[in-house]
Structure 1
Amino acid sequence: MSDPRMKIVLVTPEIPYNTGAIGRTCVALNLELVLIKPYGFSLDEKAVRRAGTDYWKYVNLSEYDTWESFLEARKPRPESLFFFEEHGAQTFYDPDYPKDAFLVFGCESKGLPLAILNGLEDRTFRLPMLDSRVRSLNLANVAAAVVYQAMRPQLGG
């Protein structure tokens, strides 16, 4: 049975502070945080707990060893998957997000693997940046901006 709530999916996250901050956002919005291994840190690290403050213990957390094991276990509908990359074909303002959307983000240094993105250009989105001197935005900031935009109808926006 599918959970009707949105989920944030982090594929091979590298920085514990970002994962902790995203976990805190998930608690604030009653969302599940899905982590795909390997991680660039231990979930036992103080940094994850510190960024999530006292809320980390409340994170609805699921972990998977690989992207394939996640797909096999969760069986997400293709139209519920939304991938976020700095060179996405569309902006994150464009889609209508279903209530059961999986908002998928890659690791901080490399983004999402091409093996995941191949053939899914129509499911890949970006946050607009107006100054070309900025290569990318912080993952926790991007995830927060995306999830609040995706949940606007549910949050009264």
Structure 2
Amino acid sequence: MGMDVDLFKGIVGSFATGVTVVTASHGDNRQGMTVSSFASISLDPLLVMVSLRPSKETPQLITTSGRFAVNMLAAEQQAISNRFAYGDPEDLFDDVPLLHDDPPVIAGTIGYFVCRLVDTHEGGDHVLYMGEPIEGEMFEGSPLMYWRGSYR
């Protein structure tokens, strides 16, 4: 007998995380999604990981293009987080300032990585996307945090 799903979600939600928007593009198609399951994996070689539901459009673009960006949101970017979590996929990038287009890099963040897709691993109802950072930048500011179902 396994752990109760609601208890599991409550315990996981007790762990404060930063908030990212993972973006990808291929041709004229750009997509992104809000993701809190981001981690650095290795320093040699440099590797990061995001955990995504494969049924969404963003993971499909990552697989097709072989690249993705991890945008680490600043404290004042809660509206951007909500847009990429709940917004219409056709309008996600409307009025969102970008530093780069391919893959989309959001302006005003505390940092970003552009990654080359290295590997994927199935993990239940999610897929782990491992990427090698090939570009990135760090900016001043405080991170947008998520804890127990609320932004901090």
Q: TM-score range by the shorter chain?
A: under 0.3
Structure with the larger helix share: 1
Q: What TM-score results when the alignment is normalised by the length of structure 2?
A: 0.23
